Each structure stands twice: as structure tokens, then as C-alpha cells.
Structure 1
Amino acid sequence: MVSTISDIAKIAGVAKSTVSRYLNGGSVGEATKKKIQLAIEETGYSPNPFAQSLKAKKTNIIGTIVPRLDSYAASQTLIGIDEQLKEVNCQMLISNTSQKLEREIESIYSFAKQKMAGIILMATEITELHIQAFDAVKIPVLLIGQEHKDFPSLVHDDFHAAYEMGKYIFGKGHRKIAYLGVTERDIAVGIKRKQGFQKALQDKEECEIRFYETEFNIPAAQITAQTIINEFHPSIIVCATDNIALGVLKAAYLMGLSIPKDLSVTGFGGYEITEVIHPGLTTAKFFYREAGKKAAETIVDLINEKQMDRLTISQFEIIERESVDNLL
């Protein structure tokens, strides 16, 4: 049977308000405090930290807003955040927005009403509505994945990861190249990765490069890949995410193509599945769990009003596997 404050009050012989005051750190006499402590031990009562936080002036709960829960990047980042917050006796409350902008904005205001100590937003884009919400709620906000000059941000090194990927595939002899990206509303994935890739190959006159756009999911990427292969016949498709790369691999398989003999493929992310599939996917690995831990450290520092760098950049590593053919 679950114990309540009423049970504790009855056993201790005190008013419920006294028990509540004790649980929320208020002033209670030593004799009364001992009675309440004994009653808690006797019943095994465990206070609801969320309910307590709503009554407190300062909570230990961090609101975390994610665009989707079925994303490897999001899930690994959340694990990192949760692990680090537990180290400092904080908790995480998650709001999944299913990639709906209006739900992101609603979640910001909702978390503020619930007295979150701070908010971590895994952003896909930052709009004026976001900025208005950040200014209105007046609690610390940290952005992950997107950068904004007016708010603390933790981003992956998308530009340089794509730059290194471009140098890598050129060094493998690829000259007829398709780049399969996403909407440029997503600054990090849609623009910075594309720009980094362009920078790496901008002076390579012998290259023929075409840029395409798809959605983040595998089925959409598969359909777009079939069009690219039929119309352009590239030696390689460089994909803006590992999920997109998986869609390309599926399209190639259904079309009877051999990877990497008939078509090379690369991705970005470093998802675990890219290591176990055959052939393994060459990719730019981002360290999502470590980034999550750093985000948790940063939001706690922001809450405690410590001086912080406005921008933190996470590391990456090019992982070479079997999906890229050497044409030299």
C-alpha cells in the first residue's frame, strides 16, 4: 500500500501541513522532526520529487524537449543527459514534440509553468516564436544541435565533419558525386553539412557534383535514391545522415546494385547499426552521449549563474568501413 502525507501525519501525531513543511525544507522543531523521520522510516514513504518541486522556489528538474524519440541521436543524447543529471541529484522531464513546431513552443511555456529549473531544447530550427518563448519564460535555456547568437548552444561540428568527408571521398577517387541532404530550415544538417562538403570540393574542377534533398526518414530517402541512381548514375552518394544512407542502401539492394562495387555510400552520425550491417557504413561519427553529458553539465552551470561560453562544439571522427570503393 502506498503511504501518503496523511499517513505520516497520523503516525507522527502532527498536522499534514507540518509534514509538508518538513518535506519541503521548512522550519520544524527537533522533537517533531524526529517523529516525522521515524514515521517515514516505518512506512517507507518516498516523496514525489515532481510534486515537491512544484511547491519549491527552486526545482531540481530539467525540462528536455526532443523532436522525436525514435531517433538514435536523440535517444543517445537523452541517455547522456540523464546519466549526468543523476550525478548532481537532478532529474529530467521529457517532452516529445513529434517534429511539430507548435508543440515545441507549447512545451517551452508548459515547462516554465511547471517550474523547471532549466530547459534543454534539441532543436531542428530556431524561429522567432522560439525566441519570443525563451525571452518570456525567463529561465535558463540550452540549445542542442542548433546555434543561436543570443542563447547558449551546444552543437556538433557539422561543417568540419562534412569537410573531412569531402576530402576523404575525393582521396578515394570519386569524381561523380551525389550529395543527398535535407531542408535548409535545419541549419546544422541542412546547411552546415552541405557547406562543409562544398568547401572540400570547391576547387576540384574535375568533379561533377549534384545536390539533392530528401526527408530524414528511410522510406523517403529510398525513393529519392532511386531517382538519383537512374538519372545521374553517381559513383557515390554522400548522405547527410545515417538514416538517409540506410535508405540509399535499401534502394541499391532493390535495384540489384552491389555496395561498394556499383555504388559507394557514406553517412553522418555513427549510429550503432552502421557497424553491424554488411557492408559496414563509412560515416562521420558524432559522440551523442558525451554531448548529452556536456549539455547536462552546462544547463546546471547556467542555472547556478556561472560564466559560460556561448557556444560549445562537440567532436567527431570519420569511421572508415566497407561502403566506399577506392577508384584510384
Structure 2
Amino acid sequence: MRAQTWYDAYTTSIAEVISSMPVVKSVTLRTIAAELGLTVQTVSKALKGRPGMSEATRQLVVQTAERLGYFTKEQIRSLRADRIIPYPLERKRFVLLQTSHSSGFLRLLLEGLHERFAAFGHQIEVMIPPSVATEKAMNDWIERSGLEYADGLFVAASIMPKEWEPKLLALPVPKILLNFPPLGAKVDSVVWDLYEATYQAVAYLRSIGHVRIMYVGDTHRQRGYLLRWQAFVHAMNEFRLEVEPSAHSIGEHTSSWLEELREKLERFTPTAIVCGIDGEVAGVYRLCSDMGLRIPDDLSMIGLLNEQPASLPPFTMPLLPIRESGYRAADRMLWRIANPTLPYEHIRIQGELRIGRTTARNGRS
């Protein structure tokens, strides 16, 4: 019940965000409404895939939108080139499978998925697999939830327990993995490129004179966590900077990891930190403040944050295109449904590095 309440709160937020977005086109919702003698609210609901009308009315609205040019010719041409029907005859049901470990970026993913599917009249819902991951428990839940009858599944990162991911990827339903795929996985994937983001962070720190750069981040719990550390090592090697694993805060972060980090900061005296895990950035920042380390005067810091937290100063951070990845994943799902026999594809969405107030040129030797 708590999961459903949490999801309702997210979808309410998404609906408010999307409804407030201006339509930058000469043809507006009001134009379509006047053409059909409907209210603007009805037209909006039809194009966003919301319930409360017949499918005949919904199809009339979307077809009128196409005829009037609400969707650009470029959009239609692109969809048809991928064999995607711009205005399908039936509303499809897609499911985003997620666990609470990823709730920090779920809202952004849902925004992207919802916005894209709304244009086609499709719906996206969230399901949260139970924490019990025995074979029987997983089979029972999959049967009760009707996953095998969904039109497509999105499997998000951080699915826990880990036994769930291979189980979900084996279902005979079109799937998009919103994560870096495991080796040998037969599935399409779309993910915001944390490997590139980590590389960008190191490259920027090196460009402003830092050579003693410490990586901080759990590398144990998720595939993406380990890939960030690998990207850090790759970047450091590229700039001919030595990487001694014992000088970094990696491995499994247990309850005592911040105390261990304190000792490493005192021992190795880095001039900069790359903090690779969103949920760890605030704790590292507070620890540095408690130690009397001024950021960025004494220590520069880059955080791989999902979003800028209100509780922290403007961070130097990669702008992770999480929302854009959701939007792109929706396109990839429709492409996969239309092209079931083509090879699997893995798409990484690259963002930019934003320079905030937590980094400065290195003045220490």
C-alpha cells in the first residue's frame, strides 16, 4: 500500500509538470478543441492518454492533431521510418519495474516515459517487485501482477534483490533495460551515460590543475557503481595519474565507511574528490565540513548527483539526462515492438558537465 501511495504522489507531480509545459507550436490544444467542438481539457486528456473518454473520441483527437500539424512532419516521418504507427488503434499498457532503492531518479524517468507515451495515447505504470526472491515467490508475483500480458516492460536500475533482474529479463515480453546491460543479455538498453560523466569529472579536475584526485563511491551493490569506478581509473590512466585502490573509498560501503573515509582524507590529503553515488554526496560534503576542509578552497568536489539538492551549494556535477533517457526509452520500446527480429541495441545518453561552486583551480603542490 505504501508503494502505491508513493507512486500516486510521483504521478501526480508528473501530471502537474507536464500540464504546465507550454506547447511551442502554431497549432495549440485550443485550436484542436475548436475544430472538434470539444473542451481543451478533453483534448488534453486524449493526447496525454488519460482515461475518461471513448477510444473513438481519443482517436479522433489524435488524428485531428496530425491533420492540423500539431505533430510536426519531421516527427511523423521519423516514426514511420522506424515502422512505428504515430496514432495506434489501441492503447497499450507498459510497466516500469522499480524498487525503492532507485526512488531518487524514478520521478525523472517517469516524466520522460509519460511525456513520450502520452503523445501516442499509451499508459505507463509502476510496479514494485516484492523483496522475497525465491523462485516460487517470483513466479507467483509475476502471475498475480499480469506482467506477461503487458505490452512492454521497462526494467530500471537498482532492482533489488538482484535475483529479480534475470527473472524479469527472461519474460517473453518486449523489454527495455534502463541500466548498463550485463554481458550476454538479450535485451535493448537505454541509460544515462555515467561512464562518460565520470570521465568528464576527472578530465575537468585535471584541466584545473588537480592530480591527487580521490574517488568515493560504493562499488559493490550495483553494476553501474562498479562501472563508475572503472571509468575513473580509465580517466586517471589517460592523464597518466597513478591509481592506488587503497587510497580511494571503494568496495562495499558498510555503516563505518564515513569514518574510514575520514582516515583516508587525513592520510592521503587529496586536493579533489569525485563522489560517484548520488546518495553519498551529502554525507561526504558534511564530513569534509566537520573536518574543517573548506570546499572548494581546501578541497574541490564533484558529485554525480541525479539533481541539485536544495541543502547543498551549487555543485559541479554532470547533468545526468535521466528524464531524456526515459523519453528515449519509450521510443526504443515502440521501435522494438515494430521490429521484433532486429538485433538488440544499447543506447547511452550523454550529458554535459555543469561547473558550480564546489571546484576551484588547484593551488596546492
Q: TM-score, normalised by structure 2?
A: 0.63
Contact 1:302–1:308, Cα closer than 8 Å, also in 2: no
Over alpha carbons, which structure has the higher Rg? 1
- Where structure 2 has 5 or more consecutive residues not aligned to the other structure, the ranges are 1-50, 56-89
Are residues 114 and 176 of structure 1, via their aligned partners in 2, closer, same or farther at CA, if it must alter by over 3 Å? same
* 1:126-146 alpha-carbon deviations (Å, 9 max, x no partner): 9676334433x3111110022
- Residue 67 in 1 paired to residue 99 in 2? yes
Contact 1:268–1:283, Cα closer than 8 Å, also in 2: yes
Are residues 303 and 109 of structure 1, via their aligned partners in 2, closer, same or farther at CA, if it must alter by over 3 Å? farther
Q: Partner letter of residue 234 of structure 2?
A: K
Structure 2 partner of 1:171? 207
Q: Partner letter of residue 102 of structure 1?
A: A
Q: Partner letter of residue 361 of structure 2?
A: N
Structure 2 partner of 1:7? none
Q: Partner letter of residue 194 of structure 1?
A: W
Quick one: distance in 2 between partners of 1:181 and 1:170? Answer: 19
Structure 2 partner of 1:314? 349
Q: Partner letter of residue 66 of structure 1?
A: Q
Q: Partner letter of residue 244 of structure 1?
A: E
Quick one: distance in 2 between partners of 1:46 and 1:279? Answer: 44
- Greater shift after overlay, 79-88 or 203-212? 203-212
From 75, 93, 114, the equivalent of 2:125 is 93
Superposition deviation, residue 74 in structure 1:
2.0
Quick one: distance in 2 between partners of 1:96 and 1:216? Answer: 25
Structure 2 partner of 1:282? 316
Structure 2 partner of 1:299? 333
Contact 2:188–2:345, Cα closer than 8 Å, also in 1: yes
Quick one: distance in 2 between partners of 1:86 and 1:308? Answer: 27
Superposition deviation, residue 261 in structure 1:
1.3
Superposition deviation, residue 279 in structure 1:
3.4
- Greater shift after overlay, 66-75 or 161-170? 66-75
* 1:122-167 alpha-carbon deviations (Å, 9 max, x no partner): 02379676334433x3111110022144111112222222122111
SS of aligned partner of 2:248: strand
State percent identity of aligned pairs. 21
SS of aligned partner of 1:119: strand
Superposition deviation, residue 82 in structure 1:
1.6
Are residues 59 and 77 of structure 1, via their aligned partners in 2, closer, same or farther at CA, if it must alter by over 3 Å? same
Q: Partner letter of residue 155 of structure 1?
A: V
Are residues 206 and 144 of structure 1, via their aligned partners in 2, closer, same or farther at CA, if it must alter by over 3 Å? closer
Are residues 83 and 108 of structure 1, via their aligned partners in 2, closer, same or farther at CA, if it must alter by over 3 Å? farther
- Residue 213 in 1 paired to residue 250 in 2? yes
Are residues 297 and 105 of structure 1, via their aligned partners in 2, closer, same or farther at CA, if it must alter by over 3 Å? farther
Quick one: distance in 2 between partners of 1:182 and 1:279? Answer: 23
Structure 1 partner of 2:275? 239
Structure 2 partner of 1:159? 195
Contact 1:238–1:266, Cα closer than 8 Å, also in 2: yes
From 229, 245, 252, the equivalent of 2:265 is 229
- Where structure 1 has 5 or more consecutive residues not aligned to the other structure, the ranges are 1-44, 50-57
Query: Quick check: which one's strand share is greater?
Result: 1
Are residues 144 and 208 of structure 1, via their aligned partners in 2, closer, same or farther at CA, if it must alter by over 3 Å? closer
Quick one: distance in 1 between partners of 2:146 and 2:288? Answer: 47
Are residues 244 and 214 of structure 1, via their aligned partners in 2, closer, same or farther at CA, if it must alter by over 3 Å? farther
Are residues 115 and 230 of structure 1, via their aligned partners in 2, closer, same or farther at CA, if it must alter by over 3 Å? same
- Greater shift after overlay, 226-235 or 191-200? 226-235
Structure 2 partner of 1:102? 133
Are residues 314 and 101 of structure 1, via their aligned partners in 2, closer, same or farther at CA, if it must alter by over 3 Å? farther
SS of aligned partner of 2:214: strand
